Amino acid sequence: MIYIIMGVSGSGKTTIGKQLSCHLHYHFYDADNFHPPENIQKMSQGIPLDDKDRQPWLLSLSYLINNLQQHQKNAVIACSSLKKSYRKSLQGNYKYLVWIYLKGSFEQILERLEKRQEHFMKSQMLKSQFKDLEEPENAIIIDIASTTEQIIKQILSNPTFFQ
């Protein structure tokens, strides 16, 4: 199984992804680590990425997912996957891939981003993230207002989780 924790920057993807992977004893991957240096530099300067910028990143993630599937390895991946086309590209024909969407309001997430230190994604780019966000239809939807422990319990108790 591969679980992709998705949502805008600051929604808690890495925190929840790491906790879930520890709970399940699965490998954890943060999609931020798959961005080419040019993308990191752009985002560090407060410049939002466009679809062209995201192509090498999506190809790297597709390769990762394909490799995990081929070797029958379980994983949790923290990945924004804001657009339906990105999710479709990553989903491919894999039936053992489950999307978990961490949903929060602009205000909730802005507050989190403003507290965050040492991350290339700056709070002023949040508007572009919400602009690009196409909420998923086929995902476990989790409200980020809960604690990390409550969110993990909600994910694990969702019937879709084990499909």
Nearest to 102, CA basis, from 141, 132, 134, 138: 141
Q: What is the pLDDT of residue 25?
A: 96
Delimit the domains of the chain by residue range: 2-162
Q: What is the pLDDT of residue 121?
A: 53
Domain covering 2-162 in this structure, CATH number? 3.40.50.300
Query: Helix (H, G, I), strand (E, B), or coil: what is residue 1?
Result: coil
- What's this model's pTM, rounded to 2 decimal places? 0.90
Q: For 5-63, write each residue's pLDDT tens digit.
A: 999 988 999 999 999 999 999 999 999 999 999 988 887 777 888 899 999 999 999 99
Count of positions (residues) in the chain: 163
* Residue whose token pair is 């924790």: 5
Assess whether pLDDT exceeds 70 at residue 134: yes
SS3 content of the chain, % helix, strand, coil (to 5): 55, 15, 35
Nearest to 2, CA basis, from 119, 83, 91, 84: 91
CA-based radius of gyration for the chain: 15
| Position with higher pLDDT, 92 vs 100 | 100
Per the DSSP assignment, residues forming a β-bridge with 6 are 101
Contact 139, 6 (CB under 8 A): yes
